[in-house]
Amino acid sequence: MFVILLILALETSQVHAWTLSALMRPSATTTTTGSCRSSFVGLANGCNHVPLKRRSNGMTMGLQVKIRMVGREKSGTHDQWMSPAIEMYTTRLRSAQMDVETEWHKTDEALIKGVLGDVQKGATVVVLDPHGKLPSSETFAADLYEWLERGGSRVVFVIGGAEGLPWELKSGQLMMTSSSSKGNNKKSATHNKQLPLLSLSKLTFTHQFARLLLVEQIYRASEIRKGSNYHK
């Protein structure tokens, strides 16, 4: 009887030791080294989670996508059906720790000012233009997360109004002014900032519909990254 109890005790301790060892080991589906945790890029690595940046105060910061447009959200009754569709995709994207918002501008000047502010803050700015890169959905998904990584979890898409993009943004060459001071002497210099140009299609869409198409592709990109059945 004593021998049986001793054998049971030894087997129990081995089970506890194995369980503790398993808990201490990294999961087979979670990569602790390489680009899966340290980078947003790496769709081929099979990462099913979205790594999050952390603010200096320790709070977790999700992925931030902003769409800048000239015009107003409701330009007519024929466009009202788009708002619920866009809201549906933006709501779904929150589960992927991605926040999508649209900022409307009354004039091209206000749009350019907003873009300049984004660039100065380090965000990646992508301009939608018919002459831009025309990617597949898979390529766009890879580009999106690369832009997010490059911009510190922030990417800004720029859509022109009914009259198109202002010429300052149409070429993708954004003129930046930087100033420096040495003693009492202040110097300013200008340089061009090359912005990526993106085309959603060779077809022509209204700027309102382009926004809906862009948001759907952003959601599709997140599902491609997850490996879900949404993209077939």
**Total count of domains within the chain:** 1
Mean pLDDT of 227-232: 92
The verdict on residue 26 lying in a domain is no
Residue 21 has pLDDT above 90, yes or no: no
Residue 224 and residue 138 in contact, taking contact as beta carbons nearer than 8 Å: yes
pLDDT at 198: 96
What was the pLDDT predicted at 232?
A: 82
Share above pLDDT 70 across residues of the chain, in percent, rounded to a whole number: 66
Q: Is residue 51 part of a domain?
A: yes
The domain in which residue 158 lies consists of 36-176+189-226
- Segment 172-196 shows an average pLDDT of 71
How confident is the model at residue 174, as a pLDDT? 84
SS3 of the chain: the string is CHHHHHHHHHHHHHHHHHHHHHHHCCCCCCCCCCHHHHCCCCHHHCCCCCCCEECCCCCEECEEEEEEEECCCCCCHHHCCHHHHHHHHHHHHHCCCEEEEEEEECCHHHHHHHHHHHHHCCCEEEEEEEEEECCCHHHHHHHHHHHHHHCCCEEEEEECECCECCHHHHCCEEEEEEEEEECCEEEEEEEEEECCEECCCCCCCCHHHHHHHHHHHHHHHHHHHHCCCCCC
Mind listing the pLDDT tens digit for each residue in 90-111? 999 999 899 999 999 999 999 9
pLDDT on residue 4: 44
| Cα→Cα distances 83→55, 63, 77, Å | 32, 22, 11
Inside any domain, residue 47: yes
Q: Distance between CA 166 and CA 147 in Å, rounded?
A: 23
pLDDT band of residue 75 (cuts 50, 70, 90) is low
Q: Which pLDDT score, from 0 to 100, does residue 37 have? A: 37
pLDDT at 13: 45
Residue 20 in any domain: the answer is no
Asked if the model's pLDDT at residue 17 lies above 90, the reply is no
Residue 58 has pLDDT above 50, yes or no: no
Within-domain flag for 8: no
- Quick check: is 9 in a domain? no
The pLDDT-based confidence of 12 (bands split at 50, 70, 90) is very low
Determine the pLDDT at residue 180. 57
Has residue 223 got a pLDDT over 70? yes
Q: Is residue 1 part of a domain?
A: no
Q: pTM for the full model? A: 0.72
Inform me whether the pLDDT recorded for 63 exceeds 60.
Answer: yes
Q: Is the pLDDT of residue 51 over 60?
A: no
Residue 126 to residue 123: CA distance in whole angstroms: 10
What band does 159 get if pLDDT is binned at 50, 70 and 90?
very high
Q: What is the CATH number of the domain that holds 109?
A: 3.40.1280.10
In a domain, 232, yes or no: no
Q: What is the mean pLDDT of residues 193-197?
A: 90
Say what the pLDDT of residue 119 is.
95
